[in-house]
Structure 1
Amino acid sequence: MPDVELRKMLVTVETIYHEFGPAPAQPLQRAAALAIIRNPFAGGYVEEISGFMDDLKPLGLDMADRLIAALGGDPAVVEGFGKGAIVGTGGELEHGALWHVPGGYSMRERLGDSKAIVPSTKKVGGPGTRLDIPITHINASYVRSHFDAIEVGLPDSPRQDEMLLALVMSTGARIHNRVGGLAAADIRGEDGLR
């Protein structure tokens, strides 16, 4: 499989202190790591692409490490995660699907083998395309308080022959969450759902 050619990377952290109501004891932090890589399959149909997932694994681990570092260095503070990809217009949606395994399993590995599936989204678009990446709790997908999203994108990316790959993490529930459902404190962690 081809080498991973990285053009640029961005790591950003958003800190939310309050949402109209009283400030919580601990602000919520949401972080995103974006990597812009050359899409080795851009420009035409290639039948066998799945081997590229193995090539992307080191990038996934590096991005997960950068996110944890940006959130203070302790993986125990991470309660939510998600992933996504924007494929440049010279590629196809399936190229973004190559990020499912290396992106998701890298975060799960660095966070102590979390139980929940890592939510994901992908699309094809040109430079400046934005993507809303869903977030759920790392151990139970049904924890409503942690349903969230982070919008990501870069003005010059992805170019036609590139992909923007993203991982996101958060340190807790939405500020002032109050729509009920399974509480994080009540997770059984048996199936990644509850």
Structure 2
Amino acid sequence: MPDVEVRKRLVTVEEIFHEGGPAAAAPLKRGAVLAVVHNPFAGRYVEDIAGFMEDLKPLGLAMATDLVAALGGRAGAIEGYGKGAIVGAAGELEHGALWHVPGGYAMREVLGGAKAIVPSTKKVGGPGTRLDVPVTHVNASYVRSHFDAMEVGVPDGPKADELVLVLVMTTGARVHARVGGLKASEIKGEDGLR
């Protein structure tokens, strides 16, 4: 498989103090790391693309490690995560799916074996395309207070022959979560769902 060619990376962190209600004792942090990489399959159909996932694994680990650092440096403080990809116009949606394994498993590893499946989204678009990356709790997908999303994008990417690969993490529930459902304190940790 071809080498991974990174054009640029972007790290962003939001601190959310309130959403119109009382200010939280500690703000919720939502962070994203994005990498703009060359899409080696752009402009042509290639049957066997799965090997590129292996090549993306070191990038996934580096991105996950950097995102934990940007959010305060403690993996144990991360409670939510998600991933996504924006495929440039000369690529196909399946090229974004190459990020499932290297992005998801990197976060789970860096976070010490998180149990829940990492929610994901992908789309094809041009420079400046925005993506809403879904977020769920790292150990139980059914924890309703952690259902969230973070909008991300790169002003000059992806170019037609690029991919934007995204990881998102949060430090907690939505700042004013109050709609019931399974609580983080009730997680059994048996199946990644509850």
Q: What TM-score do the two structures reach when normalised by structure 1?
A: 0.99
Cα distance in 1 for residues equivalent to 2:113 and 2:149: 22
The residue number in structure 2 matching 1:31 is 31
Secondary structure of the residue aligned to 1:177 is coil
Cα deviations across residues 79-114 of structure 1 (Å, max 9, x unaligned)?
Answer: 000000000000000000000000000000000100
Deviation at 1:21, TM superposition (A): 1.0
The residue number in structure 2 matching 1:19 is 19
Equivalent residues in 2 for 1:1-194, closer than 5 Å: 1-194=1-194
Cα deviations across residues 131-164 of structure 1 (Å, max 9, x unaligned)?
Answer: 0000000000000000000000011100000000
Cα deviations across residues 112-142 of structure 1 (Å, max 9, x unaligned)?
Answer: 1000000000000000110000000000000
Secondary structure of the residue aligned to 2:101 is helix
List structure 1 runs of 4+ shifted beyond 4 angstroms: none
Deviation at 1:26, TM superposition (A): 1.1
Cα distance in 1 for residues equivalent to 2:180 and 2:87: 36
Secondary structure of the residue aligned to 2:160 is coil
Q: Which moved further from structure 2: 17-26 or 165-174?
A: 17-26
Deviation at 1:20, TM superposition (A): 1.1
CA RMSD of aligned residues (A): 0.4
Cα distance in 1 for residues equivalent to 2:150 and 2:20: 20
**Unaligned ranges ≥5, structure 2:** none
Deviation at 1:178, TM superposition (A): 0.6
Paired residues, number: 194
Cα deviations across residues 30-87 of structure 1 (Å, max 9, x unaligned)?
Answer: 0000000000000110000000000000000000001000011110000000000000
Secondary structure of the residue aligned to 1:169 is strand
